[in-house]
Structure formats: C-alpha cells, structure tokens
Chain A
Amino acid sequence: MSDGIRAPVLDGRNLRKSYHLAEQTVQALRGVSLSVAPGEYVAIVGPSGCGKSTLLQLLGGIDAPTGGTVSVLGTELGQLSDRELTHLRLTRLGFVFQRFHLLPVLTALENIELPMAEAGVARAERRERARALLDYVGLADRAAHRATQLSGGEMQRVAVARALANRPAIILADEPTGELDAATGRELLALFRRLNADGATLVVVTHDERLAAEAGRVVPMLDGMITCS
C-alpha cells in the first residue's frame, strides 16, 4: 500500500456459513473476519467443530460463504466463475490436508507434477521442479515410489511439495499433523518453519500446540467465532 502497510494476501470479511444437517441449520461461522499479510504464519486453533476447517475452506475458495466476502491477492472470490476460482486455487493457493490425499496410482514425483500438468507446465520443466521439490522436503530418493509405498510422514511431505508445485502465494493447511506421530509431526513443523523462513505465507488449522506455537499469530476460535486475534 502507498502508506507502507502491506496489503493482505488473504482477507475474509464478516464470514458466515451455515448448512443443513438433518432438520437443523448449523451455524458453522458467525461473522468471522481475518486478514493475512504476505509472509505471515497464522495458526487457527480451537476445539473440534468450532468452524476452523470451514473458515480455511472459505478462505481457500473450496466452499462459498453464506455471507461475507473473501479476497485472495485482491480478487474477491465471490465474483469468480467456477473455472476462474479453480484456476486461482491451482496457481495462487497451495493446500495440505490432514489425510494427505495423494493419488495412490501415481508416484511421489507424479503427484507433485499433477498440479503443474494441470497448469500446462511443460513436461521437462515440471519434472525438474518436482524433483527439486522432493529434494526440498527431503524425499529425493522416494521419487519413483507410489503414494501407498510411503509412510504417513513421507506422504505429508509429498503433499507439501505438491502444494508448492505452482509457486503459490499462500499455503493453507488443515490439521497437517493430525495423522502423524510425534516424531514425523516434528519433521513437518521444521518443514513449515523453513517454508515460512523462505517467504511462504502459511495459514494452518491445527489442534497441535507445537505447530501453533511455531506460528507468528494464533487465531483462536470457538463456536464459529474468533475469540481474539
């Protein structure tokens, strides 16, 4: 910004989300606002069912809010068509999920190549970058292994590499250590720390106190609201 304040890369305003469960309407978010500055490392914490994953999905354009707006790099997501939104997720955002969600029929290298192939990156270039990313997450020797042949920690590191494939502006992670044991969780913490040190903007939803402690800002949530920020 002209006054020297950095414009947020991610900006959610008065976000509300409700959905129907059986006969009831569940208020998952009740007017949440959150801005994330470039290079920031934000941890959203709170008990199960408080709406933190829903908030992450709205911020990532995976779901649409019932009310409020989300802007990513100045683009309001509500104004985008499905195709534009998909392209934005592909090129500007990186996602890491609790259950890794790698494609089991592809190798580690191919899983990382997938978003680049979708973005139209040339085969040689994407292969080279996928190898570099595997090296970055410490799995250079696992390139040819199928996802099913990797351990949980390795799968999550491949998922992080996949999230980085198209050089996204923001990485959104939903309970990234949720399926990992303590030791592999620590490896992922170190990886996230390194990512942030290298300039990545991170928004992480977590129960993991260690992971939250690594963040530059912790956003606590309860009953669909941010309790303080």
Chain B
Amino acid sequence: MSGLGGARNLLRHPLRTALSVAGIAVAAAMLLDMVMLSGGIERSFERLLLARGFQYRLSPRGTLPFDTEATIPNVSAVVTMLRRDPAVMAVTPVLGAAIFGRRRGDDSLVTLFGYGFDPSTHALDEMLRGRELAEGDSTGILLGAPAASLLRAEPCDTVTIVGRLDPEAAAPAVERRLVVRGIVRWIYDYRGQPSVGTTLPLMQRLAQVASEDRASLALVKVRDELATPATTARLRRELPGIEVNGVADLVRHFRERLVYFRQLALILGSVSLIVTVLLVTTLLTIGVNERLGEIATMRAIGVSRASVLREVMIEGLVLVVIGGGLGTALGLVTARYLDAILTSFPGLPAAFSFFVPRPRPLALAGMALLVTGALAGLWPAWLASRAPIAETLRAEAT
C-alpha cells in the first residue's frame, strides 16, 4: 500500500516528475557511457590484439609495434629461432611500408600502405571476396576495400604497384604488376586506410629492404597456458636486441597513454551520480514539503515512521529505476554515436571501440545508481518521518 502510494505520488505533478526522470536518464546515460569508456578502450584494444590469437608482438628494441619506421633486421633468422621453441605455435613476420599504386584508367599514382606477411597465418586480414594469397605467391596481391576503390580494382584485375621512390632519380625503384586475388578487411587498419598486402619477400623488395631481410614486427603465438610472464622473460633473454611485448604489456603501455580517458570517465561518472542525487533529493524534498500535512495525518492515524520513510524512499527508487531504464537506452545510442566519432580519428584501427559494454561494471554501475537513488531519498524521507504531527496539523488548520 505504501509502495503504491509512493509510486502514485510521483504522478501528482506529471511534468515535474517527467523533467526529473529526463534529468536522471541523462545522468544515467552519462554514467553508462563513462563506465563503458573507462575500461572499454583497454578491453577493445586487448580484443583487437588477440583477434588472431597472437599473444606476443616483437618489435625493434625500444619501440612499440608500428610506433616508428624502425625495423628488425634478419627477421628470417629470428623466425627460425622462434619456430624451434617448443612453446611457440606460430610466428609471422610483418613488414609495413608506404608504397604506391597506379590507378587503373588514368595511371596516376596513389599512396598506399603495404603489408608484407605470411598469408598462411591469416594474421592480418579477413577475406571479404575473392581468395587468399597462396604461400609464396609472388604475383598476387590483396586489397583492402579503400585501396580497391582508389585503384578501381576488383579480384582478378591486374594492378601496378610501385615501391619506395628513389629520392635521387625521382623514379620508381621497383614496379610490379600484380593480380588482385581478393578484397579483404585489414584488422588493424584505421577507417579508410588504403592498404594492400603481399607476401613478405615481395613487400621487402618493394620497400627496398629485402637485402637486409627486414620486418616491422613479428607476431608470435604460443600455447595459451604458456602465455605467462615466465615465457615473456625467457623470450626477452633469448632475443636481447628485440622488444618483446605480451598483450598485457601492450595494454599497459596503452593504458598509460590513455590515462586521461579513465580520469575523464571517473570524473564524469561521479558527476552523473551527484546530479542524480541532487535531482532525486530536490524532487522528493519539494514533494515531501508539499505533503507534510498528509504525512502528519498518516502519522496521526498510526502509520509508522518506518512506513513513511519507506514510502518516500520508494519514490526515489521508482524515479531512479525509470530514469535508469531510459538512461540505458539513451546511453547505448549515444555510445554508438560517440564511438563513431572517436574511432574516425586518424591512426586508430577501425575495429577499435571506445565504448565496450561489460556485464560486471555495468551491473555495478546499475547498483551504484540504485543505491544513489535510495540514499538520495534518505534525507527527504527522514524529514518526512520526523515531521512533528501536532505542529504540522495545527499549521495545516490555520
């Protein structure tokens, strides 16, 4: 009965209640987004790194993968050594280089990003149409959709790829006509990045690093139970000239760089909870003050302080539940919209996401919101339950 009264009390002033619910919904949406943002970046980054199950990234000493243009020399020797390691299941060296392509039709040069890799590992791409490169395929190439669009090419078309330009002669050093085997999605590409991929030896020739057998990084997959700090330490010992980073290390580096996102999320999340408290407390305090006469009457006819307290707190909870429900929907929509904006920043993988829903933090945020609503109702509820009966009734009668 008291609960029923509590919920219905909110309908006395529908517009006022609606505005408060809207305010709580906005605050809840912000809280939801900030919870998704706070850990979502790391989670998304980790998922991206483990997309093909490679738990280690080997890069030139003192660098992070693709952080600089530095490369690992004699990468084949490194790969051979790693493949002899019983813990290692797969190794794939990757070379990333700026190259060029001739646009079909007008022969103009367009800038591309070229991957050289071992096609058998499928470490970098997801096939959209056509087929994968065969191992040792020296005449085939895979195009990402933006590159295919730039080059105006489709599977089975022939495209001309131009290697690194010679700064002295201003003429292309290496030029190859290659057959497009397939159109792929490059997992680590940013949105709109025009990337192509060939076998590693071919890309090394295009990038003019074949003689030194260079690669930008190597991806290493070990048996899951062996992806431990001990394995990391052992690989570091065995490869002193190379930076060995496990996924956890890379996530840590990433976290350090994006610490301000977490701080922002924490601050805005806290602000949203404070706003919720203020909204609920204000609405309930106004409501209680308007109903002091009724509340005094209830107390006079024998309704206990606990019941009055419960009724007002139920009002707060109902407000928060409705506002939280609407806020969840609003938060998911705004998260999608904000994600689209943030992931369009240059240099961020398109598969990356800033707002990742995770059940436990979301459940905790929901609980925090409910507790906040209940606590916000405490003060007005306490005021209501402590209203002096006789004094209030006297005031009402005059």
Chain A residues near B (Cβ < 8 Å): 53-54, 57, 60, 62-63, 82-83, 86-91, 93-95, 97-99, 101, 103-106, 110, 113-115, 117-119, 162-163, 166
Contacts and interface: CB of A to CB of B under 8 A. Distances in A.
B302 A115 contact: yes
Most central of B1, B9, B294, B394 by chain A CB within 10 Å: B1
B297 A101 contact: yes
B300 A60 contact: yes
5 contacts: A97-B393, A98-B397, A104-B294, A105-B5, A114-B303
A178 B223 CA distance: 88
Contact of B1 (A57, A63, A89, A117): A117
Contact of A89 (B293, B302, B393, B394): B302
B15 interface: no
B292 to A, nearest CB: 11
B1 A114 contact: yes
Contacts of B9: 105
B11 interface: yes
B393 A62 contact: yes
Contacts of B307: 118
Contact of B302 (A63, A97, A118): A118
Nearest to B8: A105
Nearest to B304: A86
A89 B307 CA distance: 15
Contact of A103 (B5, B299, B390, B396): B5
Given A62-B393, A101-B294, A95 B301 contact: yes
B305 A162 contact: no
Contacts of A119: 302
Interface in B364-398: 389-390, 393-394, 396-397
Given A62-B389, A104-B12, A105-B12, A83 B5 contact: no
Contacts of B11: 105
B2 A86 contact: no
Contacts of A94: 301
Most central of A60, A90, A91, A114 by chain B CB within 10 Å: A114
Contacts of B293: 99, 101
B4 interface: yes
A97 B294 CA distance: 11
Contact of A115 (B5, B301, B390, B394): B301
A86 B302 contact: yes
Most central of A98, A117, A119, A163 by chain B CB within 10 Å: A117
Contacts of A63: 389-390
Given A62-B389, A99-B397, A105-B9, A117 B2 contact: yes
Nearest to A97: B297
Contacts of B389: 62-63
Contact of B305 (A82, A89, A93, A106): A82
A15 to B, nearest CB: 13
Interface in B50-71: none
B1 A86 contact: no
Contacts of A118: 1-2, 302-304, 307
A163 B5 contact: no
Given A53-B394, A62-B393, A63-B390, A90 B302 contact: yes
Nearest to A101: B297
Contacts of A95: 297, 300-301
A87 B306 CA distance: 12
Contacts of B393: 57, 62, 97
A50 B374 CA distance: 44
A80 to B, nearest CB: 13
A95 B4 CA distance: 23
Given A62-B390, A99-B397, A106 B301 contact: no
A28 B86 CA distance: 97
A90 B301 contact: yes
A143 B293 CA distance: 24
Most central of A57, A86, A94, A113 by chain B CB within 10 Å: A86
Contacts of B397: 53, 98-99
Contact of A106 (B8, B303, B304, B396): B8
Contacts of B302: 86-91, 93, 115, 118-119, 166
3 A-B pairs with the lowest CB-CB distances in the bound complex, closest first: A90-B302, A63-B390, A101-B297
Contacts of A88: 302
B390 A106 contact: no
A54 B391 CA distance: 10
Most central of B298, B300, B301 by chain A CB within 10 Å: B301
A63 B388 CA distance: 9
A119 B300 CA distance: 14
Contacts of B12: 104-105
Contacts of A105: 5, 8-9, 11-12
Nearest to A94: B301
A86 B301 CA distance: 8
Nearest to A114: B1
Interface string B1-22: 1101100110110000000000
B391 to A, nearest CB: 8
Given A62-B390, A82-B305, A98-B397, A106 B300 contact: no
A118 B298 CA distance: 10
Interface in B1-50: 1-2, 4-5, 8-9, 11-12
